[in-house]
Amino acid sequence: MKTLEKIIGLKDLRLNAKNYIDAASRGQSFVVVNRSQPIFKVMPVDEWGDEGVWETVVDFTKIKKGGVPMGKVLAALRSMK
């Protein structure tokens, strides 16, 4: 049975970040709200289920030494529509 996530305010997170980091490291998750609107979620890494499993999709340094400017990557992706 999944427990309900605690809802916290953005200001509270800023003022008590260390406490929330410690709680997250113990397995607790939080939904952070700003002006009653959820804006992001804080959760322990192990909930993602993919830590340590990263796949290289494209190595831009092989295309051009030092990488490829982001604008060119975005333009190429947009042209694929």
User: Can you give the pLDDT at residue 1?
Assistant: 45
User: Can you give the pLDDT at residue 69?
Assistant: 84
What does the pLDDT profile of the chain (81 residues) look like in tens digits?
455 679 999 999 999 999 999 998 888 999 999 988 999 998 887 655 665 666 767 777 777 788 778 888 888 878 876
pTM for this prediction: 0.53
CATH topology of domain 1-48: YefM-like fold (3.40.1620)
User: Can you give the pLDDT at residue 68?
Assistant: 79
Q: Is 43 left (phi over 0), alpha (psi -120 to 50) or beta?
A: beta
Residue type, 71: G
